[in-house]
Copies of this chain bind each other. A is one copy, B any other.
Amino acid sequence: MKKAQFARKVASDLAAVVRRLCEASRGLHPQRTCMEHREPMPSRAVLVEMVEDLRSVLFPGYFGLAELDAESMEFHVGATLDRVLRVLREQVKRGLCFACTEAQECELCDLQALETTYAFLGRLPEVARILATDVQAAYEGDPAATSPAEAIFCYPGVLAVMNYRLAHELHRLGIPLIPRIITEHAHSITGIDIHPGARIGESFFIDHGTGVVIGETCIIGNRVRIYQGVTLGAKSFPLDEEGRPVKGIPRHPIVEDDVIIYSGATILGRVTIGRGSVIGGNVWLTESVPPGTRVVQAPPPHRKRTPGED
């Protein structure tokens, strides 16, 4: 019977394909000293859950258990944060082992992970304080917002900024890979792509947000407001002798305090948008502008549509 023959062919080819795929995958794995010690890779799924937990710690009652009251809140926040710290230590350690290229002892990675966890814990109250300014900025910056609570619950900009602020703390502590996984998680949910290396001030609000890109070396001041589709990107980047981009050079915009950038605007390169400027929608900008500048796109031509035309 034809079907049975086919089924057998599938089954018997399986082993050969598996072998080829495993061989191919070898090229994808870096030479890792720690690999000797068989340290597993970080887990995206675990990190995503950890960030969910952190959200319920930073906004208790809004996320996680919905039935908090004042008396029991500390128990829930404490239990969740304790779980977060254990997960963070483990994942940070994996991230460090993954990236370490020297013959470093695994024990050092573990110790560094523990130090990082400790430092991160100490930063959380400050992160919470700044996030409260972001929430207030969202409420004040959107006429459709009926309460700060609505911003916490529903605004993708608030979620993306929260993930960024958490990832940024880890980035500052020199942790590889993990911060990027955290911001990419927000990117996948919100369409807002903030590199954990960017530096962003208080009361930051991204409205709607889909398509926003904020590059690695951006510096953004206080009370900045950004709309969907805004790119703060690199204009171009120098290549090294092997034709690869040189890593880590300042190449993204500086946006000073109180700037508003409307939807679809693209600002590229190490330019400065002066304090209090307004950048109009769909604008393409590759030069600095002084404080208080207003940049707008020219109005498009329009004419009577020929019927049937589109």
Contacts and interface: CB of A to CB of B under 8 A. Distances in A.
Given A7-B69, A193-B228, 20 more contacts: A4-B36, A6-B111, A10-B117, A17-B121, A28-B152, A38-B69, A42-B153, A43-B66, A74-B78, A143-B246, A153-B180, A154-B181, A210-B210, A210-B213, A264-B282, A264-B284, A276-B305, A284-B300, A294-B305, A298-B300
Contacts of A125: 17, 20-21, 24
4 residue pairs, one from A and one from B, having the closest CB atoms: A75-B78, A294-B305, A11-B71, A295-B302
A118 B13 contact: yes
Given A43-B66, A301-B295, A305-B276, A27 B81 contact: no
A271 interface: no
5 contacts: A7-B69, A29-B61, A193-B210, A264-B284, A292-B307
Contacts of A117: 10
A216 B263 CA distance: 16
Contacts of A236: 309-310
Copies per complex?
6
A201 B141 CA distance: 29
A12 B74 CA distance: 12
A142 B303 contact: no
Contacts of A204: none
A28 B111 contact: no
A94 to B, nearest CB: 8
A3 B110 contact: yes
A10 B263 contact: no
Nearest to A11: B71
A195 interface: yes
A17 to B, nearest CB: 6
